[in-house]
Amino acid sequence: MDRHIRTVDDVLNLLDSLFAPEADRWTAGAGSWWDSFYADRSKPVPFFVAKPDESLVSYLDRGLITAGRALDLGCGPGRNALHLASLGFTVDAVDLSPAAIAWAEDRAREAGAEVRFRCGDAFTLTGTELGGPYDLIHDSGCFHHLPPHRRISYLALLDRVLAPGGFLALTCFAAGGMGSELPDSDFYRHSRLHGGLAYTPESLRWIFSDLTEIELRRMHDEPPESPSFGEPFLWTALFRRATRP
Tens of pLDDT, residue by residue over 3-51, are 889 999 999 989 988 887 676 676 655 557 888 889 899 989 888 999 9
Name the band, by pLDDT with cuts 50, 70 and 90, for residue 126: low
Write down the CATH superfamily of domain 14-240: Vaccinia Virus protein VP39 (3.40.50.150)
Q: Which residue has the higher pLDDT, 182 or 120?
A: 182
- Kindly write down the DSSP assignment for every residue of 4-70, as one continuous string: ---SHHHHHHHHHHTTTTGGGGTSTT--HHHHHHHS-TTS--GGGSS--BHHHHHHHHTTSS-SSEE
The residue extents of the domains of the chain are 14-240
Residue 2 has a pLDDT of 80
Q: Is 209 left (phi over 0), alpha (psi -120 to 50) or beta?
A: alpha
Tens of pLDDT, residue by residue over 50-94, are 999 999 999 999 999 999 999 999 999 999 999 999 999 999 999
Residue 86 has a pLDDT of 97
